[in-house]
Amino acid sequence: MLEALTGTGLAASAGLNAYIPLLTMGLLARFTDVVELPAGWHWLSGGWALVILAVLLAIEVVADKVPVVDHVNDVVQTVVRPAAGGLAFGAGAGAQTATVSDPGALGSRQWMAIAAGVLIALCVHGVKAASRPVVNATTGGLGAPVVSTVEDFGSVVMSLLAILMPILVLLGLVLLAAGGTWIVRRRRRRRRQRRAVEGVETVRLFG
């Protein structure tokens, strides 16, 4: 159960920011005893891997806070974030952490963990990508850096909770679900308003 929650939290975090959960695991595994990566995943704590992840994270952090550029970034990340989610779930679910001292619930079913991570990250990414146009339209683009910063912070918190207190991942998932529901309703409301305005303009034009 805890292994699944750890993987789920890390995959959800990757849906918000592809590189934060991978970098978090890599740093903790390299410089602390909090995380011991499973066999086959030790490369994640390697020096070059950490440097590359840090550079990609810096690019992502900047690109995601600029209106229009953030949309292009989300299109590119449609592939990257789910892939990162699969890696994060696979590595995290099989790692020894502060709360999981004997991982092994997944056993040889690593492909299932990776597939689950891909799907979870893809769903979170979908909500994130759908919300950004709404934020940019309602704030004239001024809300993009604020929302992006909140998402990055949320990704860091979710990653740490997944590793240190995985049971609290459930709370994070509830908050993400609530945010996704609000975004969907907001988009539907905007579409109805747009159609109403277009209908009025059509009546005026041909009435």
pLDDT tens-digit series, residues 157-193: 999 998 888 888 777 778 777 766 766 676 667 666 6
Between the alpha carbon of residue 114 and those of residues 4, 87, 124, 179, 199, the distances in Å are 11, 6, 16, 25, 47
Question: What total number of domains does the chain contain?
Answer: 1
* pTM higher than 0.85: no
In whole angstroms, what is the distance from residue 113 CA to residue 10 CA?
Answer: 12
> Which residue has tokens 């893809």?
122
Cβ neighbours of residue 82 closer than 8 Å, sequence gap 6 or more:
14, 15, 117, 118, 119, 121, 122, 125
- Asked whether the predicted pLDDT for residue 60 surpasses 60, the reply is yes
- Whether residue 37 contacts residue 45, with contact meaning beta carbons closer than 8 Å, is answered with yes
1-27: average pLDDT = 91
Segments forming the whole domain that contains residue 155:
2-206
pLDDT tens-digit series, residues 118-157: 999 999 999 888 888 878 877 777 888 888 998 999 999 9
Which is nearest to 104 in space by CA: 34, 162, 38?
38
Q: Which residues, in sequence order, are bridge partners of residue 96?
A: 36
